[in-house]
């Protein structure tokens, strides 16, 4: 039973070099496999002394030990698809070709010739061996335009040149070729006897390890049984998201972040659940007297939020219904502009203060806030300049006067504007609990 359950997870093998900086090679491949739900195994061909600035030195693993690594994996673990990366010498290429041929593995070739940050990774005399012995074994090869030029002998200046090069490499023995389009307005050219354009975007961000990540993503999708063209499309989108999520960790090219979008989606889910939990507290425990005439809302932002779409709140606000707090609709991102702007403004001063809520102003409520030991600040609408957003200006003014983000910001209203108290906190559950405590100290009833 356990064996059958284990084999439900697809497995991929990367045969490549180690980037000591963690941005490319084996590290990028394994992270990509994991992010796409595939178990990753590896055979290390070379070690590099490498960082974000470039390759300082490299050491090739003896081919006998490359064989031992491969046999150890293949004798025990089913390999659904394999990929190659850095194969620096003719002997390594020949060895890997023999191993792949013997096991009849579906193969993705990433013809790594140079590091993104600088440094040659494929010796000239190994290219001919790669073409003769490894290329005919592959399901697909994924050269960038510089690698495609070296393999095809054609200069690539535009899409038509890329198509010509792809066909030439296909004629050399590859079943399919994808000339990646990082230097061709973001469009990849796939040729498998027919041309397919894999359209993408040239997004901003670090690209160290992008080639490894792209080929590893194709490998992972093929391991899951996805057809090649769809695998290429998925890989394209995956790399774009990884580039957008890249973080500069050194003085050179920033590595792509394979888990960036996954972690972002996980945080958005966490924020939604947090606001929903806060809403349960409000509806079941908060005194209805704290709800302003215009209604109230509670919101929480994701880390690094910069727009209302990054803030979750209650759609349609929270109103008083039959003597109790009641949410008009569900929790969603982008549901509130008013409360969202309060949270966004607070985060500009303290990134940990991601949640906000408004409650009805009263002297009793302020006294309760003080009794709870909350830090309180205020602003006056009479001092508000023309042409500014009240929330951004008012919250900024209160924070400046206090020298930090306070727990409570209030104003006493103005012409046509209801007086209001805003509660700020690290998350929406914390803010909701404070609202419940405030109502309890006021003697308010649910």
| Rounded CA separation 53/4 (Å) | 45
CA-CA-CA-CA torsion sign (267, 269, 272, 274) = negative
Mean of per-residue pLDDT scores for the chain: 92
pLDDT confidence of residue 320? 94
Phi and psi for 107 in degrees, rounded to 5?
-135, 135
Determine the Cα–Cα distance for residues 279 and 297; give it in Å rounded to an integer.
9
pLDDT greater than 80 at residue 306: yes
Residue pair 19/210 in contact by the 8 Å Cβ criterion: no
**The domain 264-441 is classified under which CATH number: 3.90.1010.10, 3.30.1950.10, 3.30.43.10, 3.40.225.10?**
3.40.225.10
Helices (H), 253-356: 260-285, 338-349
Q: Which two tokens stand for residue 388?
A: 């500014």
pLDDT single digits (tens) 263-282: 999 999 999 999 999 999 99
Query: What is the pLDDT averaged over residues 335-342?
Result: 94
At the fourth CATH level, which superfamily is domain 2-257? Ribokinase (3.40.1190.20)
Give percent of the chain above pLDDT 90. Answer: 84
Are residues 267 and 33 in contact, defined by beta-carbon separation less than 8 angstroms? no
Cα gap 126→150, rounded to integer Å: 12
Ordered DSSP codes for 27-71 = HHHHHHHHHTT-EEEEEEEEEEEEETTEEEEEEEPPHHHHHHHHH
Confidence of residue 202 (pLDDT cuts 50, 70, 90): confident
What are the structural domain ranges in the chain? Answer: 2-257, 264-441
pLDDT tens digits for range 125-145: 788 899 999 999 999 999 999
Quick: pLDDT tens for 355-404. 999 999 999 999 999 999 999 999 998 888 887 777 889 999 999 999 99
Please tell me the predicted confidence (pLDDT) of residue 443: 74
Q: What is the pLDDT of residue 118?
A: 46
Give me the pLDDT at residue 205, please: 93
Q: Following DSSP, what letter does each residue of 123-160 receive, concatenated?
A: -HHHHHHIIIIIGGG-SEE---HHHHHHHH-----SHH
Instruction: Using alpha carbons, list the distances in angstroms from residue 143 to 10, 113, 148, 151.
Output: 25, 9, 5, 9
pLDDT of residue 7: 56
Write 284-288 long-range contacts (CB < 8 A, 24+): 284/446, 285/436, 285/446, 286/325, 286/432, 286/435, 286/436, 286/439, 286/446, 287/436, 287/439, 287/440, 287/442, 287/444, 287/445, 287/446, 288/320, 288/323, 288/324, 288/325, 288/444, 288/445, 288/446
User: What whole-number distance in Å separates Cα of residue 295 and Cα of residue 120?
Assistant: 64
């Amino acid at each position: 039973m356990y064996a059958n359950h284990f084999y439900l997870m697809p497995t991929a093998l990367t045969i490549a070099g180690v980037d000591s900086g963690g941005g490319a090679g084996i590290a990028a491949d394994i992270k990509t496999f994991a992010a796409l739900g595939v178990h990753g195994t590896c055979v290390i061909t070379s070690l590099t002394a490498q960082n974000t600035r470039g390759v300082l030195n490299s050491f090739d693993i003896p081919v006998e030990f490359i064989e031992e690594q491969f046999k150890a994996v293949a004798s025990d673990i089913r390999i659904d698809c394999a990929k190659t990366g850095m194969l620096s010498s003719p002997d390594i290429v020949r060895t890997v070709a023999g191993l792949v041929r013997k096991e009849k593995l579906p193969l993705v070739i990433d013809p790594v010739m140079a590091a993104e940050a600088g440094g040659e990774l494929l010796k000239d005399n190994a290219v001919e061996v790669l073409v003769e012995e490894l290329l005919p074994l592959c399901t697909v090869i994924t050269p960038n335009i510089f690698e495609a030029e070296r393999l095809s002998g054609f200069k690539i200046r535009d899409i038509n040149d890329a198509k010509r090069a792809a066909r030439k490499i296909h004629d050399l023995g590859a079943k399919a070729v994808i000339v990646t389009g990082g230097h061709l307005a973001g469009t990849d050219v796939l040729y498998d006897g027919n041309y397919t354009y894999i359209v993408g975007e040239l997004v901003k961000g670090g690209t160290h390890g992008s080639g490894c990540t792209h080929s590893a993503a194709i490998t992972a999708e093929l391991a899951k049984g996805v057809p090649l063209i769809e695998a290429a499309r998925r890989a394209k989108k995956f790399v774009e998201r990884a580039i957008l999520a890249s973080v500069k960790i050194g003085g050179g090219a920033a590595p792509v972040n394979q888990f960036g979008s996954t972690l972002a989606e996980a945080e958005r889910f966490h924020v939604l659940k947090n606001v929903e939990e806060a809403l349960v507290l409000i509806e079941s425990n908060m005194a209805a007297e704290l709800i302003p005439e215009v209604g109230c809302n509670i919101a929480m932002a994701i880390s690094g939020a910069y727009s209302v779409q990054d803030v979750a709140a209650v759609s349609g606000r929270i109103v008083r219904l039959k003597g109790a707090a009641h949410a008009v609709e569900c929790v969603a991102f982008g549901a509130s502009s008013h409360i969202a702007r309060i949270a966004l403004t607070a985060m500009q001063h303290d990134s940990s203060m991601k949640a906000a809520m408004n409650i009805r102003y009263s002297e009793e409520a302020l006294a309760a806030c003080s009794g709870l030991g909350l830090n309180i600040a205020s602003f006056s609408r009479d001092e508000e300049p023309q042409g500014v957003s009240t929330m951004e200006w008012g919250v900024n003014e209160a924070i400046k006067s206090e020298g930090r983000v306070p727990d409570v910001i209030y104003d006493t209203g103005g012409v046509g504007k209801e007086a209001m108290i805003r509660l700020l906190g690290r998350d929406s559950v914390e803010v909701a609990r404070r609202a419940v405590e405030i109502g309890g100290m006021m003697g308010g009833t649910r």
